Amino acid sequence: MIIIYHCYGGAHSSVTAAAVHLGWLPTDRIPGSDEIISIPYFDRPVTRDHGRLQFMGNDEFGNEIYVIGRRNAARVFENMAIGMAQVYGFCPRKLLLVNVMPYVNWKMVVGGFTSRKLGLTAIGRPVVTAGVKFAYWKIVSLVNRIKVCTASGNTGELTQIN
């Protein structure tokens, strides 16, 4: 199965969810700032990276985990992914699209904008990291639902999860 975590910029919430999914971040405690900042792609993508699928790794079930920044075009991205799967004969039951935007808070927005758009990482990164910590248990809960869904094979024809 291919699991794609998606959010506005592909730099914070989706990357955090993918890292939890892959076991790079703990599920029994909130990680420290250094742990969060060390995640591949965390607070690194820029505007030109939006729309580019980034492979993060394979989980313990052999699922391929990706992240993508799709700006405010969640429905456009989801429709495009479904269409591409159909055009190329990919079984839709093997694709899971996970919208992580409902878990984004104001600290993640302000910190991400300051760090990525304004380039002021020394100011923005601590703010966005604090936002990730604030949303962490919700992200862990989302990932746990995804793992239960994929482990049981109960993903429906094409599931879009928020």
CA angle 34, 38, 42 (to 5 degrees): 115
Q: What is the SS3 assignment for 66?
A: strand
Query: Contact at 8 Å (CB) between 82 and 158?
Result: yes
Flag whether 120 is in a domain: no
Query: Contact at 8 Å (CB) between 76 and 82?
Result: no
Flag whether 130 is in a domain: no
pLDDT tens track for 23-39: 999 999 999 999 999 99
Which whole number is the average pLDDT over 62-73? 91
Flag whether 131 is in a domain: no
Flag whether 93 is in a domain: yes
Which whole number is the average pLDDT over 36-51? 82
* Distances in whole angstroms, Cα of residue 58 to Cα of each of 46, 61, 103, 114, 116: 24, 8, 23, 31, 27
Q: Which domain holds residue 60?
A: 2-104+136-161
Flag whether 17 is in a domain: yes
Flag whether 116 is in a domain: no
Q: What's the number of CA atoms in the CB half-sphere (13 Å) around residue 35? A: 16
Flag whether 110 is in a domain: no
Which whole number is the average pLDDT over 98-107? 95
List phi, psi (to 5°) of 138.
-70, -40
Q: Report which secondary-structure segment, H or E, holds 67.
A: strand 64-69
Distance, in Å, from the CA atom of 99 to the CA atom of 62, rounded to the nearest integer, reads: 21
pLDDT classification of 158: cutoffs 50, 70, 90: very low
| pLDDT on residue 155 | 59
57 burial level (CB within 10 Å; 0-12, 13-18, 19+): middle
Residue 87's CB is within 10 A of a number of other CB atoms, namely: 8
Flag whether 12 is in a domain: yes
Our count of domains for the chain comes to 1
What is the pTM (predicted TM-score) of this model? 0.88
Residue 162's CB is within 10 A of a number of other CB atoms, namely: 12
